[in-house]
Amino acid sequence: MSDLEAFRAEIRAWLEENCPAEMREPVRDEGDVCWGGRNFQFKNEAQKTWLERCVAKGYTVPDWPKPYGGAGMSPAEAKIWREECARIGARPPLSSFGIWMLGPALLKFGTEEQKVHYLNQIARGEIRWCQGYSEPGSGSDLVSLQTFGEDKGDHWVVNGQKIWTSYADKADWIFCLVRTDKTNKYQGISFLLFDMTTPGVTTKPIKLISGNSPFCETFFDNVVVPKDQIVGELNRGWDVAKYLLGHEREMISGAGGGDRLNAIGAVVARNGLEDPILRADLAMFDVDALAYACMGEKFLDEAKVGRAHPAQPNMMKYAGTELNKRRHELLMSAGGATALEWDSERTNGGTPSRSWLRTKANSIEGGTSEVMLNVISKRILELPGA
Amino acid sequence: MPLYHTEDQAMLAESVTGFMADEGGIKKQLRHYRDMNCQDGFGHTLWKQFAEMGLTGMLAAEADGGLAMGHVEAGIVLREIGRNLTPSPFLTTSVMGVTALSGGSEEIRGRWLPGVLAGDSVLAVAVDEGPKHRPERIACKAEKAGNGFRLLGRKAFVVQGASADAIIVAARTSGSDTDNDGITLFAVPKDAAGINHENLRLVDSAMASNVTFDNVELDGDCVIGEVDGGRELLNKVIRAGRIGAAAELTGVGQGAFDITTAYLKTRKQFGQLIGEFQALQHRAAHLYSELEIAEAAVIKAQQLLDGNSDKADLMVSVAKAKAAKACNLSVREGVQMHGGVGMTDEYDIGLYMKRDRSLAEFMGDQYYHAERVAQLSGY
Ligand SMILES: Cc1cc2nc3c(=O)[nH]c(=O)nc-3n(C[C@H](O)[C@H](O)[C@H](O)COP(=O)(O)OP(=O)(O)OC[C@H]3O[C@@H](n4cnc5c(N)ncnc54)[C@H](O)[C@@H]3O)c2cc1C
Ligand SMILES: Cc1cc2nc3c(=O)[nH]c(=O)nc-3n(C[C@H](O)[C@H](O)[C@H](O)COP(=O)(O)OP(=O)(O)OC[C@H]3O[C@@H](n4cnc5c(N)ncnc54)[C@H](O)[C@@H]3O)c2cc1C
């Protein structure tokens, strides 16, 4: 047996032994996702046990180094971990902006002290993070942001407003883009970390078309941020911000696994599929979805060893989110009138329609599809003037 | 296995890329043989060079003098063939033909493989009997006659059929047209009496033949594999053809894309490069995504085939359908973005459009394969 085969056997046995049966059921709704954080309420004992067991082994962040709370897996080993989890349908033990976004940025730009401190908190699910990028006047044109941090010697005083801050009302800390030099557009932004309980931070939930309110307006009124809570250099936060966006886009693309890679025809057909034209559309969709799943695998294989184009996450995000919107349009058509039910019990509170509406944000959040196409044109195709 | 080429495969790709660009280019091959109205539709000198590079026997077993490589490696060659629109019997001979013969006796392999490996002979594969790919239906009959068989029927769209030294024919030796069983593969030599070719030029300048077999007498040695039990081998040949065509399509799509983006960077209108217009940039970026995804599906299917996975069949259909969709988009956008010159014979982009059409049809188009994806998925 090769080393990797032995590793696979070891992971398979561990999962068999340690992943509770309830954690092998598909995620039905938001409540099934374990976000961690100071105020997180576990849905059941199994969710808590699953998290604790994974934390003990470093499996919440399998490819992070061990000193930072990971399991130190190589790319090939991490792929085996994903494949074995997918094989039994194991849910992610922990989902968080810390794992997907801040963690990779800290691994690249953080000081050793910051890495040990913040990464371990993330890996153990102790601190839940939110992302303070967008502002009312700065969406796609993010670099125009105005939230200002005034230098007060050993700290900054931050004033301004963020918007669309996902889970700001549930998060413990925020990673935030703050202007620290008004005279330089790109090299005048710093990447700051601070506690959401700091005096002067307030949040106001915003209701989505899906009826849920997962994001907020976030206000900063003379918020004091100590100087050691900066990631990267002063005024060079844009580099950190862009690097993080690459990981955010990779996450939103769904390349890492889960239902964004699935075909749907067979599932739909279980409830009857009488319309031949819908069946044809589903078949064409499945071709695209199954091909995209291959792309997800290829992208991760290449990204982990530095072979992917650095701008490739933009392509993944574009293709993956447009596909996911198409998936839910088809699921709505297949569901017929039942899928229109907004709060009935048999739809688990309108899951089909609420999920469908939620997918419309996929091609907006983390950078819109149009912005992704702009980036591909410029950085990959090197088209003029892009 | 990661979804990118190993070091050996990357080295092969490098040498094949250079070779095909130098020797297999559009001017030297496609336009040259087209303009002289060559009835083979390809050049024998280049085929000989393929042999010198060791490409003709890539898929053949080492015992047969081949390199015992797989579909990933064959796909590397096909992608470059596609990118250069190189007219070549490689897909029908070295991929499909060799796959068929490899399922036959030592005797039949000894009869045909040495010529193929040396670049002296060419094979064609005759499966379909109408204008669309329908391998489930085989009516062409081979009746028992003495020690051998008598072949009677018709095969359509036999690429390079009239130039082939042997045609590999899927014929019915028992049962009715749509039966799964009762299929036998034959290697029918070119000079057998009773073969009639309607040799036709296709839109992409390739030659294909509608072949009629009018009581062609075959001795028992022409049988490849088992009598009546040829369906499995036929499926193997067809799968090889499908994934091969898919790989070639990704090359065609990429070639069209490359010359189009180059054009966007040189053509000026309204006082600026047309590549500066966002309307074109977004379409080019979308096309890039589709081509990347198609390539991923193709390499995944190749690896699954080489690993004899039971998921290979589904993924081959996904790959053929996706490659056809992406390549078709590439050539359509290519011609459109070239404006008026895209319609001229002088520019190469139109040649890509023609090749895409032929390859999309070969071994099943996107509709055929989407239907298979549905069926194999259980709906
Ligand atoms: C569900 C959800 C969650 C989010 N979570 C967060 C979060 O946690 N933290 C955070 O900071 N932000 C978050 N966002 C905000 C998100 O990043 C922004 O919505 C996004 O960047 C787009 O900005 P905008 O909404 O201002 O749209 P605009 O930038 O005003 O765009 C409007 C339209 O114009 C198009 N457009 C803009 N510029 C161009 C151009 N140059 N070329 C072509 N078309 C263009 C856009 O594509 C879009 O279609 C979230 C958004 C959503 C929907
Ligand atoms: C079969 C045929 C017959 C013709 N017959 C005649 C005739 O009888 N008489 C005559 O005078 N002309 C004729 N034409 C020429 C025809 O009008 C031009 O080809 C057409 O106007 C496009 O110009 P172009 O070829 O220079 O392409 P270009 O203008 O170079 O366009 C190249 C690409 O860039 C795009 N593009 C250009 N500008 C923009 C922009 N601002 N925004 C976004 N995209 C842009 C175009 O849509 C196209 O995709 C004929 C053309 C053809 C193909």
Question: Is residue A357 in contact with ligand 1, taking CB distance under 6 Å?
Answer: no
Residue B2 lies in a domain: no
CATH code: domain of residue B22: 1.10.540.10
Which residues are within 8 A (CB) of A372 and not within 5 positions of it... i.e. 6 or more apart?
A249, A314, A315, A317, A318, B285
**A89 CA → ligand 1 middle, Å:** 33
Asked if B81 and B117 sit in the same domain, the reply is yes
Euclidean distance between CA atoms A137 and B26, whole angstroms: 52
Do the domain assignments include residue B174?
yes
Q: How many CB atoms lie within 10 A of CB A16?
A: 10
Residues B264 and B352 in one domain: yes
Name the closest-CA residue to atom 49, ligand 2.
B337
CA dist list (Å): A145 to A130, A136, A176, A179, A386: 17, 9, 11, 7, 21
pLDDT < 70 positions in chain A:
1, 386
Contact B218, B210 (CB under 8 A): no
User: Is B1 domain-assigned?
Assistant: no
CB of A166 sitting under 6 A from ligand 1 = yes
Q: State the residue range of the domain holding B25.
A: 7-122
Exposed e or buried b for every residue in B68-89, given b needs 16+ CB within 10 A?
ebbbbbbbbbbbbbbbbbbbbb
* Partners of residue A206 on adjacent β-strands: A215
Contact A169, A212 (CB under 8 A): no
Q: Which of A165, A368, A370, A383 has most ligand 1 atoms within 8 Å of CB, for mutation? A: A368
Q: B183 near B230, Cβ under 8 Å?
A: yes
- Ligand 1 pocket mutation, candidates A164, A178, A354, criterion most atoms within 8 A of CB: A164
Query: Is there a single domain that holds both residue B297 and residue B208?
Result: no
* Atom 33, ligand 2: residue with shortest CA distance: B337
Over residues A280-300, the pLDDT tens digits come to: 999 999 999 999 999 999 999
B236 and B191 share one domain: no
A134 pocket-lining for ligand 1 (C-beta < 6 Å): yes
pLDDT (average), residues B186-190 = 98
Residue A78 exposure: Cα atoms within 13 Å on the Cβ side: 21
Residues 361-380 of A with CB under 8 A from B: 370, 372-374, 376-377, 380
Residues B178 and B239 both lie in one domain: no
Q: How far is CA B9 from CA B74, B96, B161, in A?
A: 10, 21, 31
- In chain B, which residue's Cα lies nearest the Cα of A317? B289
Cβ pair A194, A68 in contact under 8 A: no
**Same fold: A129-236 with A254-380:** no
| Cα torsion angle, A272, A278, A283, A285, sign | negative
Q: Are residues B280 and B368 in the same domain?
A: yes
Together in a domain, B357 and B275: yes
Our count of domains for chain B comes to 3
Residue A196 has what pLDDT? Answer: 98
Question: Are A295 and B296 an interchain contact pair (Cβ–Cβ within 8 Å)?
Answer: yes
Q: Which two tokens stand for residue A71?
A: 């399991």
Same domain, B194 and B301: no
Asked whether the predicted pLDDT for residue B26 surpasses 90, the reply is yes
Q: Which residues of chain B approach chain A closer than 8 Å at the C-beta?
A: 2-4, 261, 264-265, 272-273, 275-276, 278, 281-282, 284-286, 288-290, 292-294, 296-297, 299-300, 314-315, 317-319, 321-322, 325, 366, 369-371, 373-374, 377-379
**Which residue is it, tokens 């009516």?**
B139
Chain A contact probe: residue of B270, B280, B289, B376 with most A CBs at under 10 A: B289
Classify each residue of B25-58 as buried b or exposed e, where b means 16 or more C-beta atoms within 10 Å of its C-beta: bbeebbbebbeeebebbbbeebbebbbebebbbb
Cα→Cα distances B297→A24, B9, B367, Å:
28, 17, 17
Say what the pLDDT of residue A386 is. 65
pLDDT, one tens digit per residue, over A295-310 is 999 999 999 899 999 9
Residue in A closest to B283 by C-alpha: A373
- CA of residue B334 to ligand 2 center, whole Å: 14
| Rounded Cα–Cα distance for residues A230 and A234 (Å) | 8
B224 & B264 share domain: no
Indicate whether B302 belongs to any domain: yes
Assigned CATH class of A3-95 = mainly alpha
Instruction: Report residue B186 as tokens.
Output: 């034959």
Over residues B241-248, mean pLDDT: 98
- Which among B276, B286, B366 has the least Cβ separation from residue A385? B276
A369 CA closest ligand 1 atom index: 47
Q: Is the pTM of this model over 0.90?
A: yes
Q: Which CATH number fits the domain A254-380, given the four candidates 3.30.360.10, 1.20.140.10, 3.40.710.10, 3.90.1170.50?
A: 1.20.140.10
Average pLDDT over residues B302-318: 97
Please tell me the distance from the alpha carbon of residue B223 to that of residue B227, in angstroms, as a whole number.
7
Q: Where do the structural domains in chain A lie, given as residue ranges?
A: 3-95, 129-236, 254-380
Same domain? For B362 and B263 the reply is yes
Contact B2 A318 (CB under 8 A): no
Residue showing tokens 């990971």: A70
- In-domain check, residue B51: yes
The answer to whether A59 and A93 have CB atoms below 8 angstroms apart is yes
The alpha carbon of residue B336 and the mean position of all alpha carbons in its chain are separated, in whole angstroms, by 27
B374 to chain A: which residues are within 8 Å by CB? 265, 279, 282-283, 286
pLDDT attached to residue A96: 95
Length of chain A: 386
What's the rounded mean pLDDT across residues B126-130? 97
- Tokens 């980036």, located at residue: A375
> Chain A contacts of B369, Cβ < 8 Å?
287
- Residue B57: inside a domain: yes
| Shortest distance, CA A283 to any CA of chain B (angstroms) | 5
The reply to whether CATH 3.40.50.880 applies to domain A129-236 is no
Last residue of a domain, one of B183, B202, B228: B228
Where residue B349 sits, what CATH number does that domain have? Answer: 1.20.140.10
Please state, as a whole number, how many other Cβ atoms lie within 10 Å of the Cβ of residue A262.
15
| pLDDT for B225 beyond 70 | yes
Same domain? B268 vs B362: yes
Pocket test for ligand 1, best of A189, A365, A369, A383 (most atoms within 8 A of CB): A365
Interface mutation target, options A140, A267, A294, chain B, most CBs of B under 10 Å: A294
Q: Using only C-alpha atoms, what is the Rg of chain B?
A: 21
pLDDT value for A29: 80
**Residue A90 near residue A83 (C-beta atoms within 8 A):** no
With CB atoms and an 8 Å threshold, state whether A265 touches B2.
no
Are the C-beta atoms of residues A214 and A208 closer than 8 Å to each other? Answer: yes
B289 and A318 in contact by Cβ < 8 A? yes
Contact B125, B100 (CB under 8 A): yes
The ligand placed nearest to the CA atom of residue B335 is 2
Q: Is residue B279 within 8 Å of B313, Cβ to Cβ? A: no
Closest-approaching ligand to the CA atom of A140: 1
Q: Are B194 and B142 in contact (CB under 8 A)?
A: no
The three-point CA angle A222-A228-A233 to 5° equals 100
Listed in order, strand segments (DSSP E) in chain A are 129-132, 148-151, 155-166, 173-179, 189-195, 201-206, 215-226, 230-231
